[in-house]
Chains A and B, each alone.
Chain A
Amino acid sequence: MATKLKKTTAVEKKLIGLADIVITAADRSKDPTFSIPIRALSNVSFNERKGLIEMGNKKQARSFFNVGMAKKFMQTVLVADALSELQRADLTTSLREIYYRTKHTIKDSHENTFDTQDESDPVIEDLEVSLAALREELHVRAENSGSIVGPVIFGDDGDRVDCARLGKGGYSVPSIVEPEYLEIRRCTADFLLLVEKGTQWNRLSEDKFWRRYNCVLLTGNGQPPRGVRRLARRLHEEYKLPVYVLVDNDPWGYYIYSVVKQGSINLAFESQRMAIPKAKFMGLSSADPERYELPRNVGIKLNEKDIARAKELMNYQWFQKPAWQAEIKRMLTSGLKYELDALANKDFQYLTKKYLPRKLKEKDWLD
């Protein structure tokens, strides 16, 4: 799915198509209905050959003259209207601004079109999926919440951004990183390390880990947002950088890794463009505490939610590899989870000076 600036008109056409559905149905005295692909586990499948989560063909009908759906239908048309306005004016905006733009009190009533942003966000995702348009193409951006540092040079709005010369703070990854917005001019790194936590990324950046090992350091502060994932994918694709993921040793860390690698269930339709099937799981592995002699007392007892989530993960198709089953089982048996930060128990710079060098040297990672 190539993304070109010229396509904006195509997106606008698609949005106007929604109005046409209503008009045509009205002409024929039919109930106007949109069909929207279902975004749930029931409608995704794991393509083993490609190593991606793919969305299935199941769709749900959203009809106007159905009491349960009437409001959703009305909201969908309103959001489509707001999005087409963005297209015409060639502006980008945030999810929250769309919410405010479309919110008003319906004439002769006390009812608001939207009561909270929780109602408008899913409608936007619905439109992304049903129009097969990317969020960027809809001119909706998320917050910047990622940082990058390392031997890579971008062109952003005509500015040259050299990520090797931005101190320890690095470059803040914008939410839209498509080539027309962000150009990668040069990259001389050998690999890319995606770190879950901002604190650990800071540690590595401060210690200039990227300089010694010639790599790019990227973080998404938790679950990486689209911009970060897409940028990692572009560096992986365009500059052939191997991608390694460094997360906490808990079910949520495993899931972050799997989202980077195969894509997420909710945004399965974007997997093709975001997922990095060759990404490797660097750590923290449930085998590490023993191998790196982390004392038991820096672990945290798994709570009920953790255990339930871990068992859920074991059932996902993309965690069926024996190594992964063993990895998760080992965590469940120990009953403990470990944070990356726990490595500081040995030494403040343990991550930079001991842990990662040894991991890289031993090629100790999971696929």
Chain B
Amino acid sequence: MPKKTSSAAVPKPAPPVPRTPEEAAPKKAAAKPAQQVTAVEMGARQREISVSEFFTKNRHLLGFDSPRKSLLTCVKEAVDNALDASEEAGILPDVAVRLEVVPTNGTVPPASQATRFRVTVTDNGPGIVRQQIPRIFAKLLYGSKFHRMRMSRGQQGIGISAAGMYGQLTTGKPVKIISRTGPRAAAHFFEVQIDTKKNEPLVHENKQIEWDRPQGTQVALEVEGKYQKGRASVDEWLEQTSIANPHVKLTYHTPEGEAKEYPRTYHELPPSPREIKPHPYGIEFGMFLKMLQDTKSHWVSGFLASDFCRVSPQLADEICKTAKVSPHLKPRDLKGHAAETLYQTIQNTKIMAPPTNCISPIGEKAILSGLYKQIKGEFYTAVSRPPAVYRGNPFLIEAGLAYGNRPEDQQKPQQPAMPKAEGEHEEEDSELARVIRYANRVPLLFQQSACSTFKAVLNTTWRNYGVSQSRGALPGGPMVIFVHMASVWVPFTSESKEAIADYDEIQKEITLALRECGRRLGLFLRRRERAASEFRRRNIFELYIEEVVDACDRLKGGKLPKAKLKAQLQKIATSRTGGLKTDEALGKTGGGPEGLPHSIIVTAEGVEGEIALADQVERDADPAGVPVEPDLLGDEQPIETPSKKRAAGPQAAKGRIAKSAKGKAAQMPLFSKPAKREKTTRRRA
């Protein structure tokens, strides 16, 4: 067992086992002779450290370093808990986050200067039984998630109690909780604090109250913090949460008194992830020893077969035989060399990969609707990879991409028509893509460059897909890249859960997903470029005719019938571009999201793709995402002049009922396929 040496050691997220300083004496030999301290004196000073004390001193390990980040961490922990609880109980989450400035010395400072905030998070989840409330909110490392292999946002049971402890440390105020388990049950109000020495809750207040909500939990924390918008802010975190969780309705009251609403666009709970047993490849030797001690099995073979996944009784016997360990040995008696041999044997035995049904992906449609809802763009796509395995842990990568500016936004900057001087150019997009990263649906906002996802984005050759990219940099252009890793155990580089570690298997999966997104983007960009060049062609002539006519007129001494020449030239231009028009129409028949599965294209005329699906309540038993081909209306109009554009966005999508109906039909590939074939042949004919 590891020695408890100093508080500076990074703690393993395991419950601390109280240890007596029995091994102190031999260590003493190294003490310097100059200091006349005896082993006994030193022994007297050596004592146990509680987790809470440890984290009080090392709160940065849990994400409570700067006041700004601490505020975010408090919101994050409370929201994570709310979502995990609601989803596990099968309730579509409805979460309200309220940030309020706490008056200091009787005055309320403006939000940007305030140092104290009250964070209130309310959900419609299952509620918490009365007896558990104090321990969940005021005891570190207490919870349901650590002891099982199941995909969830929280993993350790530190988060919310650490947030409470942070509040207690900085403001001295207790955590206030209201919880109600159902309309018939009473709502309970608690005020709890944590006894940092013992890591035990102290209940200050406990009473039944009237609550206007039929069910749910509300947590209120008063903490020191700093509110600032922009990168890595509470606002950004909530926005990104809403992108990856379109099934959540999120209401956010900013400290400035503004109310932001992130509506639910996907009316289906993600399939509940199943719990699995650990896979033998993913277990380290120390953990293996611990499992040997804790198992309920009486035989080693039974232990192997029942405590691990993918180990059948036959395989267990076989492993014991190869390791020359009696299958009937008591697991507790297996120690030292024999245990190590057994462990090595397991690692060298071929064992089937772990089951992957324990992971619940967000799903391509949900990602699409999340991106579409939050990010203004012209093109959206999403890819869910099939599950894969790293170090015995199943995981799954999803990627999404939103590109471009909405047509209505493109118009704006063109308004001030200022003549350009030499050396001035059309403002080029020096903007770089933004990467938004998620682990089990939770946005990761810090340490981007250390993250495996970020590295995968850099290592993808975006130039192949028509996007600019400097060497070793992010691709350029108005683009948001979405990467999500779902796993029973996400390998973070540190305890504060900020970056995903760089395993080859993970990197490979991310790259594959990004490449698929890139391919679709490239296809879209090429089509758009083709359409734009046709448009430009006609435009050029119209622009220059005027110039040429004026110059000719001056050359002829101002005696030219200008109108006539202009009309003649325009006639030639139209007759010449008449051929182009047909080109354009041809290009347009292939211009929709055909061949672009799981993508949305927003044009001046409206929205093409799967967005209509996302706006409907649908129970679609197709989480793996069989490529769906939304059908295109044959009579799509070619690009019109921008002045004729209709408002894009959800309204436009709603206006296309016919289309959404078609999209819905396309979702049932079995039935729609023959029909579709007919249609295509007809179109060809």
Query: Which A residues are within 8 Å of any B CB, using their own CB?
Result: 15-16, 18-19, 22-23, 26-27, 29-32, 64-65, 67, 70-71, 73-74, 77-78, 80-81, 84-85, 104-113, 115-116
Contact = CB atoms under 8 A, between A and B. Distances in A.
B540 A70 contact: yes
B563 to A, nearest CB: 12
Nearest to A15: B555
A70 B544 contact: yes
Contact of A116 (B422, B547, B576): B422
A77 B565 CA distance: 15
B544 A115 contact: no
Contact of B547 (A65, A67, A113): A113
Q: Which of B422, B423, B560 has the most CB of A within 10 A?
A: B422
B426 A110 contact: yes
A139 to B, nearest CB: 15
20 contacts: A16-B555, A16-B556, A19-B555, A23-B552, A23-B565, A26-B565, A26-B569, A29-B575, A64-B569, A65-B573, A70-B540, A71-B540, A81-B551, A81-B555, A106-B543, A109-B543, A110-B418, A110-B420, A110-B426, A116-B422
B419 interface: yes
A109 B546 CA distance: 12
B544 A67 contact: no
A32 B573 CA distance: 11
B238 to A, nearest CB: 39
Contacts of B552: 19, 22-23, 77, 81
B572 interface: yes
B571 interface: yes
Interface residues of B, number: 31
A205 B419 CA distance: 50
A212 B65 CA distance: 88
Interface in B530-582: 536-537, 540-541, 543-544, 546-548, 551-552, 554-556, 560, 565, 568-569, 571-573, 575-576
Given A19-B556, A105-B420, A109-B543, 8 more contacts: A18-B555, A19-B555, A30-B572, A67-B536, A78-B551, A84-B554, A108-B543, A109-B417
A73 B426 CA distance: 23
A95 to B, nearest CB: 14
Contacts of B571: 29
A112 B419 contact: yes
A258 to B, nearest CB: 34
A15 to B, nearest CB: 6
A115 B422 contact: yes
Interface string B396-414: 0000000000000000001
Contacts of A74: 544, 547-548, 551
Interface of B: 414, 417-420, 422-423, 426, 536-537, 540-541, 543-544, 546-548, 551-552, 554-556, 560, 565, 568-569, 571-573, 575-576
A246 B544 CA distance: 49
Given A16-B555, A70-B541, A106 B546 contact: yes
Given A80-B555, A116-B422, A106 B541 contact: no
Contacts of A16: 555-556
Nearest to B539: A109
A27 B568 contact: yes
B419 to A, nearest CB: 4
A35 B551 CA distance: 19
A203 B556 CA distance: 53
A29 B547 contact: no
Contact of A73 (B418, B546, B548, B556): B548
Contact of A71 (B422, B544, B556, B575): B544
Contacts of B537: 67
A73 B568 CA distance: 17
Contact of B551 (A27, A77, A108): A77
Nearest to B418: A110
A17 B533 CA distance: 33
B410 to A, nearest CB: 14
Contacts of A23: 552, 556, 560, 565
A110 B422 CA distance: 13
A81 B554 contact: yes
Contacts of B556: 16, 19, 23
A111 B543 contact: yes
Contacts of B543: 106-109, 111
B640 to A, nearest CB: 18
A18 B552 CA distance: 8
A81 B548 CA distance: 10
Contacts of A70: 540-541, 544
B565 A22 contact: yes
Contacts of A85: 554
Contacts of A73: 544, 548
B568 A29 contact: yes
A224 to B, nearest CB: 29
A16 B558 CA distance: 12
A189 B400 CA distance: 83
A65 B551 contact: no
Contacts of B423: 116
B534 to A, nearest CB: 10
A85 B550 CA distance: 14
A26 B422 contact: no
Nearest to B546: A107
A111 B556 CA distance: 26
B581 to A, nearest CB: 15
Contact of A29 (B540, B560, B572): B572
A219 to B, nearest CB: 32
B576 A65 contact: yes
Contacts of B419: 104-105, 112
A67 B538 CA distance: 9
A363 to B, nearest CB: 52
Contacts of B555: 15-16, 18-19, 77, 80-81, 84
A345 to B, nearest CB: 43
Contacts of A18: 555
A77 B572 contact: no
A22 B548 contact: yes
Contacts of B548: 22, 32, 64, 73-74, 77
Contacts of B568: 26-27, 29
Nearest to B554: A81
Q: Which 7 A-B pairs have the closest CB atoms?
A: A26-B568, A19-B555, A105-B419, A19-B552, A81-B551, A74-B544, A77-B551
B239 to A, nearest CB: 34
Contacts of B414: 110
Contacts of A19: 551-552, 555-556, 560
A111 B560 CA distance: 26
B574 to A, nearest CB: 11
Contacts of A80: 551, 555
Given A29-B568, A31-B572, A81-B551, A64 B422 contact: no
A113 to B, nearest CB: 7
Contacts of A108: 543
Nearest to B567: A26
A108 B556 CA distance: 25
Contact of B540 (A22, A30, A67, A107): A67
A106 B571 CA distance: 21
A77 B547 contact: yes
A79 to B, nearest CB: 9
Nearest to B577: A65
Nearest to B416: A110
Q: Which of A16, A67, A116 has the most CB of B within 10 A?
A: A67
A14 to B, nearest CB: 11
A104 B547 CA distance: 10
A190 B423 CA distance: 50
Contacts of B426: 110
